[in-house]
Structure 1
């Protein structure tokens, strides 16, 4: 597939025209290069069903194109339809056995199936025939990354970018591999070299800015993104990243201005509008925040962050009953967010829906069992209901999952004391004091009356350094 887009705006226009023709049932006609760009656009954005539809339309127009048959096989592999993908590429191999894309596609199928050693062998075979193909180096990186061999993955992502700097996915995957292997700081020179070699490359400055952003070096990131924008004022992604950097610096006014420049004039994206809404939320400008969140939803009803944002705005205004509806829309769209479930649980609790709140905390701990706040908040509801044994059992579950989290031990100790189970409480307290002595003040924050218990004080003093 073609990884090089000379004009991204032109490609997007082609994609829109293709979609419009399909929607209106108009005859679809594009040249081969346009179809390649359409298919590549969809695969880059993991829209594999649309990519396959584009493949079918293209093959109907160019039935003897081996490139399109290869594209179709690769898309099928990405969709997990390995048998059909393999059958397709074997048909191509009969027609053109020396085509390096045959080996590449076999490698993609092997990667998707989890046969990483086999995948690497196929890609290396393809490199022997086409050593300067950036996409082959990229696929080698993906195979090694999926194999969790991050150092090898980074090596091939780097080579892919040396051959083609305009591969945003390769940049993101390289940054991830370097971050996971804790080698990003020592590899900054790789990104700097591109700006040294071509100081007028907006893309080089943009990629360097992303590396600084990942490292939390926000001032350096701002400078790099500003250089990219100075070179190319319509570099919308650079504006977006600059805005995100300002958000991390809590410079929300500046962030709003940059988010407003992160899309074409009069063509806002749902994501940008949602981000602007969040900035207004951070500034406690509730009406503006809700207005932008709603605009985001109007553009894309599946924007879960915007539904959640309106819920947050309403909760901040003590309108929890109204907030519940928006939090529920958010969790229905994205059930794997512990943040959404906890916000919904809090809102349900605030309006007196205790059973619903408990159900939400239960879901939150299923989604993220290592989130201590979900366990703590759930347990306090049980405690307030007088269900000491239930609170104790819940904390024991939490401690079993997170044995090194001192706060959980202190809370368990507090509940045991409240239930009159002193021997168990003191054993639990000893564990907590060993883990983190300084956090023993949490015990008295939960229950100030415990400070008067002499036995407790003596036990704590034994662990005082």
Structure 2
């Protein structure tokens, strides 16, 4: 039983906390201790739960339920040997207690022995009159094993017992989605809705399946029914807005996103989508206003900063774009998307050193796209740093072996440094891989394209 602030059920809790402050020991029956411990565990107040267990066992040393709470705390603290030992004692005293098997399964699960956990939970099923929680636990163990069909089966059993078990419903849909069984999910949800026509969560999930399959009209209908079932369901309005965007009904999309701002605290997602809709409607002032609200609401949302930067980028206002991407980098300097934009904007502004620095940081953060290597290397060539450019392209070869665009660049660089043997090696490789890219030599290295050695190699091998 959970304590409430609005009734007399919390009197034992108040009495217990008063006792802790005064150090004056009071008597509680075992059920009161159980409720107090359960409350503290639910609140994550482990230290207080342990105090209640100790005091409870002091007054009721033979209580199996209080000792089971002790097992639960042992497991939480990863004291699995102590938990196992105490469970063995309890099993000898009460071998038909389902909770003993549940806690034993928790130990196996903590040890990543999920198959054994499932076997123990199935024994608990034979002893219980209330199977829903155990079905759910078995389903979770199958999820740990990536056995989604079995997991789905047990979560479905939960839902058969209790139509309002939304946690089970979400898990069922998760399994369908992981298995890419979108049509099957739709069939299941439709059958479920035949029996529960006002379940807003099921309508919402049905709409999401149709959205994934790009059946936007059916998705819209499903979200309509979700809202009819609960006209304060923020998630349904958000998803409905996304569908309306896909249908290019931007004014209606804005209406739906705006409703969410009134129903709940403004979300950066809704603000961002409204800004995007206004931009599509060519209302740039309002678009910018909502993009700015987005980054103010959630400065850590990279999509907000990217949207406002690209807004100015599209209008070729690169100075403003650079201003906002710099603000974004100051907040999160490890965001690779920010550095990519930073590099591109600086490149357009002819700030080559800053652009090269940005591409270098992009690579350091693990973005190994071919274009990043090529652009950074070309910038180093432009900046008169051929050795650094060679090092850049040699690193790129590790990720893109036998790439002619890299090989032609390495050839040109080595010829530029009068390392003709290496230049010849890379030029022959490049021509062999793709002769159509030979123009790279003339474009990037015009001063060496007229070298007799280079001319002869190109003439002989093309």
TM-score (norm 2): 0.67
| 1:113-128 → structure 2 map (5 Å cutoff) | 115=78, 117=80, 121=84, 124=87, 128=91
Tell whether the 8 Å contact from 1:409 to 1:428 is kept in structure 2 after alignment. yes
User: Unaligned stretches of 5+ in structure 2?
Assistant: 19-26, 409-415, 417-422, 436-462
Q: Does 1:354 align with 2:354?
A: no
8 Å Cα contact 2:182/2:209 also seen in 1: yes
The residue correspondences of 1:292-371 to structure 2 (distance < 5 A) are: 292-319=256-283, 321-331=285-295, 334=298, 336-347=300-311, 352-366=320-334, 369=335
Flag the structure with larger Rg.
2
SS of 2:344 mapped into structure 1: helix
Deviation, structure 1 residue 251: 1.9
Query: 1:102 pairs with 63, 66, 88, which one?
Result: 66
**2:384 maps to which of 420, 437, 462:** 420
Asked if residue 29 in structure 1 is aligned to residue 7 in structure 2, the reply is yes
Task: Give the C-alpha shift of residue 270 in structure 1.
Answer: 1.5
Q: Hey, what's the Cα distance between the residues in 1 that align with 2:40 and 2:217?
A: 45
1:52-451 matches, within 5 Å, as 64=28, 66-67=30-31, 69-77=33-41, 79-110=43-74, 115=78, 117=80, 121=84, 124=87, 128=91, 129=94, 133=98, 137=102, 141=106, 149=112, 151=114, 155=118, 159=122, 164-165=131-132, 170=137, 173-174=140-141, 177-178=144-145, 183-184=146-147, 187-192=148-153, 208-262=172-226, 265=229, 267-319=231-283, 321-331=285-295, 334=298, 336-347=300-311, 352-366=320-334, 369=335, 372-402=336-366, 405-436=369-400
Q: Which secondary structure does the structure 2 equivalent of 1:395 belong to?
A: helix
Deviation at 1:289, TM superposition (A): 0.9
3-state SS, counterpart of residue 261 of structure 1: helix
- Counterpart CA distance in 2 for 1:464 and 1:149 is 51
Deviation at 1:149, TM superposition (A): 3.1
> Contact 1:103–1:126 at 8 Å: present in 2 too?
no
**TM-superposed deviation, 1:199:** 8.4
Aligned residue in 2 for 1:45: none
Shift of 1:290: 0.9
Aligned residues: 400
Asked if structure 2 preserves the Cα contact closer than 8 Å seen for 1:277 and 1:293, the reply is yes
Displacement after TM superposition at 1:220 (Å) = 1.6
SS of aligned partner of 1:262: helix
1:304 touches 1:334 (CA, 8 Å); kept in 2? yes
Residue deviations 1:141-197, cap 9 Å, x none?
A: 5x777x58384697389759966336897588557534xxxx23xx41453478699
Q: Verify the 8 A CA contact 1:320 1:348 in the aligned structure 2.
A: no
Q: Is the 8 A contact 1:127 1:133 kept in 2?
A: no
Query: RMSD between aligned alpha carbons?
Result: 4.9
Q: Give the superposition deviation at 1:231.
A: 3.1
SS of structure 1 residue aligned to 2:66: helix
Offset at 1:280? 1.3
Distance 1:291 1:315 in 2: 15
Tell me by how many angstroms 1:440 deviates: 7.3
Q: C-alpha distance in 1, partners of 2:138/2:392?
A: 48
Describe the shift of the 1:230–1:400 C-alpha distance in structure 2 as closer, same or farther (beyond 3 A). same
Q: Which moved more, 1:201-210 or 1:373-382?
A: 201-210
Q: Deviations over 1:328-383 (max 9, x none)?
A: 544555555433443344346566252222221454553xx4xx433322221232
Alpha-carbon distance change, 387 to 317 in structure 1, aligned in 2, over 3 angstroms: same
Q: Distance in 1 between matches of 2:231 and 2:277?
A: 26
CA contact (8 A) 2:87 2:104 kept: no
8 Å contact kept, 1:270–1:303 = no
Distance 1:199 1:301, change over 3 A: closer
The unaligned stretches of length 5 or more in structure 1 are: 3-14, 23-27, 36-52, 445-452
CA 1:150–1:157 in structure 2 vs 1: closer, same or farther (change >3 Å)? same
Partner SS, residue 7 of structure 2: coil
